[in-house]
Amino acid sequence: MDGPLLDFFRAARSAGLRISPAESIDASRAVRVVGWEDRARLRDTLSLVLAKTVEEKRRFEECFDLFFRRDGFRGAAEDEAEPPPSPPEGAPPGLPEGGAAGAVGSGLGRMLLAGDRAGLAAAMAAAAEEVGVSRIAVFTQVNLFARRILERMDLAGLERDIAAHQGTPIGARLRQGRDMLREEAQALARQNLELYAQGESERWRERMLAQTRLAAIDRRDHERMRVLVRTMARRLAVLYGRTRKRDRRGMLDARRTLRRNMGWGGVPFLTVWKRRKLDRPRLVVLCDVSGSVAAVAQFLLLFLYAMKEALSGLRAFAFSGSLIEVSDILEREPIEKATAEIMARIGFGSSNYGNSLVEFERGFMPILDRRTTVIILGDGRGNRTDPRVDVLQRMANRAKQVIWLNPEPRTLWGTGDSDMPRYAPHCRVTAVCSTLKHLDRVVTALLEGEG
């Protein structure tokens, strides 16, 4: 493959396109057929091969335009249609053969005096490739790479020419050209940052957000967090949305192995391993939406909304001082409206775990059976009210398991009005769930049947 095409594949992947090695080969073959001359035909060909969805088509168009716009150098392509800009007052009007050009020693200075934009563009492109500007990773490196590009283009020689013609029209033009080159080098570094590092920067920021305490997420990052939650939920839905069977290597199915190898006299050339069926779990979720955990609860409700396809028989409840079922709200409303409605009806109050558990027992205990997993999200702080541990014990006896996800660190469990040490013996799993990464790990383990 050509080097520019490989660079474009890397830029496209950074922009979020999923390009497999096979698709890269197909795209390379298609480019050999259509050529590079017709830019529109090249764009349509690569779009047909590489972009699969409407969103990828949009990202491809942006990436293609940005990548091939790099060839421009102060309108180098327009030089034939437009005359070069007039020199400053008192400066030589152009570069006559053997005139001002002979007064400077550097090739860079001669190109600047001649207004050779095409030559300057080629020299800068070669210098950028030599210094590896495509490896730029963060915006703070823009000036660093711009300086390296200029140094590779012989900035030192240009500075000597400027010093030698200090106070002359030639020196003025060279200084003007040096400033223009600096701007062009910075623009080239910024374009490479956008092409090759934007995707990695976004992924780094997403990784940091996934490890940030949900309660500490800045409001300006809420939309990005919603995208992350939806992405995580879709991934889990694809992986665990169907009834599956998993091999248990190490446990041989002797009967089926012998039957499969009858043609070899029973010699086990082909082994058959026992498999166990992995069913989609049936979940009942009790979510504390009181003031102390309201921020965390919003993200959990968002996650449950996105997981509806993966979870069979999902029943969702929200509580603070009392408890209500919110399954129908999550079913009929978009997630933003659903979350706002739930929080308006029951959220931000003072939590009373004992009363909420009693209300669940009175109205919904029959929905629990041996296939049901109960997930409780909350800090276990009931403001010194009766925790009604006996109700949680009866729920644990009816259900398959109870999992408690607490947004507080374990060091705070049992301090103040926390009843977690009293609830924990009746839970199969108690886990800290203060970040999106924690939530992903716990729910993944649950869907894998490892609860």
**Token pair of 366 as six digits:** 């029959």
d(CA 60, CA 271): 47
* SS3 call for 405: strand
Which DSSP state fits 290? S
Q: How do 273-278 and 244-252 pair as beta strands?
A: antiparallel
Which runs of consecutive H residues, i.e. helices, occur in 241-352?
254-260, 294-306, 327-332, 335-346
Sign of CA dihedral 386, 391, 396, 401: negative
User: Residue 257: which of 244, 275, 277 has the closest Cα?
Assistant: 275
pTM over 0.85: no
Task: Find, among 314, 385, 317, 310, the residue nearest to 351 by Cα.
Answer: 385
**Other C-beta atoms within 10 Å of 43: how many?**
15
Distance CA 247, CA 252 (A): 10
Phi/psi at 80 (5° precision): -70, -30
Residue 384, CA atoms < 13 Å, CB-side half-sphere:
2
Report CA-CA distances (Å) from 128 to 14, 291, 374: 19, 54, 58
Strand partners, 401: 373
Q: How far is CA 194 from CA 70, 202, 438, in A?
A: 12, 11, 31
Q: pLDDT in tens for each of the 451 residues of the chain?
A: 567 788 888 888 877 788 888 899 999 999 999 988 888 999 999 999 998 888 889 889 888 888 887 544 554 434 443 444 444 444 444 433 444 555 677 888 888 888 888 889 889 989 988 998 888 877 888 999 999 999 999 999 999 988 888 888 888 999 999 999 999 999 889 888 888 876 666 666 667 777 777 666 776 776 777 777 777 766 666 655 544 444 445 577 788 888 888 878 777 778 887 765 555 567 898 989 888 787 777 777 777 676 665 565 678 899 999 999 988 888 888 777 888 888 888 888 889 999 999 999 999 999 999 888 898 988 999 999 999 999 999 999 999 999 998 988 899 999 999 999 999 999 998 988 878 787 777 777 766 654 4
Please state, in angstroms and rounded to a whole number, the distance separating the CA atoms of residues 157 and 160: 5
User: What pLDDT score does 296 carry?
Assistant: 76
Q: Given this model, what pLDDT does residue 96 score? A: 39
How far is residue 390's CA from residue 342's CA, in Å, rounded to a whole number?
28
Are residues 376 and 293 in contact, defined by beta-carbon separation less than 8 angstroms?
Answer: no
Domains in the chain, ordered, with CATH? 3-82+96-207 (no CATH), 245-278 (no CATH), 281-447 (3.40.50.410)
| Torsion, CA 100, CA 104, CA 107, CA 109, rounded to 10 | -70
**pLDDT of res. 446:** 64
Chain centre to alpha carbon of residue 261:
48
116 Cβ contact list (under 8 Å, min separation 6): none
Q: How far is CA 42 from CA 33, 39, 103, in A?
A: 10, 5, 45
Half-sphere exposure of 65 (CA within 13 A, CB side): 5
Report which residue type is found at 382: G
Q: Which helix (H) or strand (E) holds 318?
A: strand 312-319
What is the DSSP secondary structure assignment for residue 196, as one 8-state letter?
A: I
Could you give the 3-state DSSP secondary structure of residue 115?
A: coil
